[in-house]
Amino acid sequence: MSRTVKIDRLADTVMKGLMEYKDLAADVLKTDVEKAAKTVKSQIEATAPKRTGTYAKSWASKKTKETADSIEYTVHSRKRYRLTHLLENGHAKRGGGRVRAIPHIAPAEQVGAEQLLLDIERDLKKGG
């Protein structure tokens, strides 16, 4: 009987430690996601086409969803959102022909994803 009690206490202690690590890891991951969103925003601002500069300055990152274990950010153009698809993918001209694409969103997204992966690996190796 005493062995069962000791194993139960050990299991409770291990579970408590795992729950504390989960909470700490969730906080670290949330911070890393926020940092990646800011990186994507600044990368888009730096590489966006600049005729007047209004489009490049219109980018923002916004927390759109948060739970105890997860967080979601959206990087978007506040005022010029209709223009993003046309610039990123190119479009047909009215009189015929095409306007060339200026990829600036997809490369920034790739940089942000790579940074997020590296930050998560680094922070979790540190122990949360």
pLDDT, residue 126, reads 80
Cα–Cα distance between 35 and 103 in angstroms, integer?
Answer: 22
Give the C-alpha separation, 112 to 118, whole Å: 10
**Mean pLDDT, to the nearest integer, of 35-47?**
95
Please state the length of the chain: 128
Instruction: Provide the β-strand partners of residue 71.
Output: 66
1 pLDDT exceeds 60?
A: no
* CB 58 within 8 Å of CB 82: no
- Name the band, by pLDDT with cuts 50, 70 and 90, for residue 8: confident
- Section 68-97 average pLDDT: 92
Tokens (6 digits) for 120? 């998560």
pTM, 2 dp: 0.80
30 or 20: whose pLDDT is higher? Answer: 30
Mean pLDDT for the chain overall: 89
- DSSP alpha helices (H): ranges in 1-128? 2-47, 54-57, 81-89, 105-125
Residue listed under structure tokens 């969803």:
65
Question: Percent of the chain having pLDDT more than 90?
Answer: 61
Give the SS3 label for residue 1.
coil
> Coil, helix or strand for 22?
helix
Residue 39 forms beta bridges with which residues? none
Average pLDDT over residues 32-53: 94
